[in-house]
Amino acid sequence: MKFPSEPFKIKVVEPIRRTTREERDRLLRDAGYNVFQVPAESVYVDLLTDSGTSAMSDRQWAGMMMGDESYAGSRNYYHLEETVRSIFGYKHVIPTHQGRMAENLLFSTIVKPGMCVPNNIHFDTTRANVEHQHAEALDLVIKNAYDPHCDFPFKGNMDLNRLEETIHRVGRERIPLAMITITNNSGGGQPVSMENIRQTRALLNRYGIPLFFDACRFAENCFFIKEREPGYANTPMLTIARELFSYGDGCTMSAKKDGLVNIGGFLSLNDDRWAQQITNMLILVEGFPTYGGLAGRDLEAMAQGLREVLDEEYLRFRIGQVRYLGELLDQAGIPILKPIGGHAVYLNAREFLPHIPQSKFPGQALAVALYRDYGIRAVEIGTLMFGKQDPATGETLHPELEMVRLAIPRRVYTNMQVTYVAESIIDLYQKRELIHGLALTYEAPILRHFTARFTELQKSQPVTV
Ligand SMILES: *Cc1c(COP(=O)(O)O)cnc(C)c1O
């Protein structure tokens, strides 16, 4: 079989509205050509993010009815604690309302000004939380992670030589911990191999540096290990996850991804002293340690989601659906980032729209065209998100990769809807020379992609393909 069909049937449906091209054209003008500003109800297939957009199972919904809303000692907390310990194996389980709060609590406790945190690639909130402590966030992924045509199976791997050089250069005492992001979201959802994790652990052990995982997509990473790494083909998912986490001292987690819930997260770790300090801070900013900013029912849904996400049938469907979309596009000659990652397909906007220079936002122009012509919402990951001013010359520095990410929500869209997305993009590719660049009319000083506004450049401007 080409790809696995859905391992579930649908019990509840939510209608989605079809809009006309004229309506979407008007909405885009009102939104300043920023798809973040378009109301979700006017989107047909929403691939903006896989975060917090999962469909919950009947068991998760049943669990929500079993919410114990006691202020202290809710039974749902004990279910979560038991589940997290059984998968991740760390001693302390600290619930938070989402992943960035787990990051904030961890870094505000152990990272001091002037320190460095190495990671394969920091996710944007992770980087922001490290930098908020006046510390440096270092991305040390292997070099071929930045080559969109290289199909190495573990492009999320840590570059061990650069990690060791970094330790020598900055000194062990300035590195309070190292992190590995599984899968590597900012690098295209690419997995990290068990061997690389084992070697990272061994290297860090020589210097006594703790290792934490950014575990948001841990189940997807474990599935890639099973599929691609020698020796794991017959290993159960839970065994792979346990081995992986055994090489770390703790993890931060956004359960909005592989927790299969719409809100929730946690921090889990072994160190008693850090856990105590973090718990004190948790009480100040989130709530009592057995609910951490969530309702009891949310804790129960998260515990159940964590058990479901390691189901191999589910993961085969999940990874298979993303791959199916990527392969349909690849076979039609659409430029995409390879290999196809765990949670998203990335269009290579520079190759898709070679007639639009990076200064005219080809990624954003592609996202705008996808919405206007087909009602599909995707997100630009390129000049708009990562373009920076050169402090010396004032010129804009463009990022190496100009991408449009099609993130697939978990268990939400059918394979037929995914086929619609592929056919739409193939159709758009045929008439790509009709797409025009954009010019910024407003940008906020930080995280400008959420609120930026544009005008469309005139159609009369010369266009060549
Ligand atoms: C989403 C995400 C986070 C932050 O989690 P939130 O729940 O959005 O706060 C951190 N790291 C990675 C890799 C993520 O994908």
pLDDT tens digits, 222-243: 999 999 999 999 999 999 999 9
pLDDT of amino acid 392: 81
CA of 396 to the centre of ligand 1 (A): 27
Helix (H, G, I), strand (E, B) or coil at 74: coil
Nearest CA to ligand 1 atom 11: 123
CA of 260 to the centre of ligand 1 (A): 13
pLDDT of amino acid 388: 79
User: Which of 105, 123, 186 has most ligand 1 atoms within 8 Å of CB, for mutation?
Assistant: 123
Please check the confidence at residue 464 and state whether its pLDDT lies above 50.
Answer: no
Rounded to an integer, what is the distance from CA 172 to the centroid of its chain? 29
pTM: 0.94
HSE-up of residue 233 (Cα within 13 Å, Cβ side): 3
Please check the confidence at residue 217 and state whether its pLDDT lies above 80.
Answer: yes
Ligand 1, closest atom to CA 181?
13
Which residues of the chain does CATH 3.40.640.10 include? Answer: 58-308
pLDDT of amino acid 444: 86
CATH for 21-50+311-456, among 3.40.50.2300, 2.60.120.380, 3.40.50.10240, 3.90.1150.10? Answer: 3.90.1150.10
User: Which of 50, 220, 257 has most ligand 1 atoms within 8 Å of CB, for mutation?
Assistant: 257
CA of 20 to the centre of ligand 1 (A): 34
Q: How much of the chain exceeds pLDDT 90, in percent?
A: 89
Ligand 1, closest atom to CA 185?
13
Please check the confidence at residue 462 and state whether its pLDDT lies above 60.
Answer: no
Ligand 1, closest atom to CA 254?
7
CA of 298 to the centre of ligand 1 (A): 18
- Ligand 1 binding residues, C-beta < 6 A: 51, 98-100, 123, 125-126, 181, 185, 214, 216, 254, 256-257, 265
Q: What's the whole-number average pLDDT of the chain?
A: 95
Q: Could you tell me if 343 and 184 are in contact, meaning their C-beta atoms sit under 8 angstroms apart?
A: no
State the pLDDT confidence band at 135, using cuts at 50, 70 and 90. Answer: very high
Please check the confidence at residue 465 and state whether its pLDDT lies above 80.
Answer: no
pLDDT of amino acid 461: 52
pLDDT of amino acid 2: 66
When pLDDT is averaged across residues 254-278 and rounded to a whole number, the result is 98
Which residues of the chain does CATH 3.90.1150.10 include? Answer: 21-50+311-456
Give the tens place of pLDDT for each residue, 58-68. Answer: 999 999 999 99
HSE-up of residue 327 (Cα within 13 Å, Cβ side): 8
Give the tens place of pLDDT for each residue, 153-211. Answer: 999 999 999 999 999 999 999 999 999 999 998 888 999 999 999 999 999 999 999 99
- 444 by Cβ neighbours in 10 Å (0-12 / 13-18 / 19+) ranks as exposed
Give the Å distances, CA to CA, from 344 to 326, 388, 434.
Answer: 9, 25, 26
Domain 58-308 sits in CATH 3.40.50.720? no
Give the tens place of pLDDT for each residue, 1-36. Answer: 567 899 999 999 999 999 999 999 999 999 999 999
Place of tokens 């079993």: 66
When pLDDT is averaged across residues 324-345 and rounded to a whole number, the result is 96
When pLDDT is averaged across residues 111-131 and rounded to a whole number, the result is 95
Nearest CA to ligand 1 atom 12: 123
Give the tens place of pLDDT for each residue, 55-107. Answer: 999 999 999 999 999 999 999 999 999 999 999 999 999 999 999 999 999 99
CA of 341 to the centre of ligand 1 (A): 16
pLDDT of amino acid 13: 95
Nearest CA to ligand 1 atom 5: 99
When pLDDT is averaged across residues 428-455 and rounded to a whole number, the result is 92
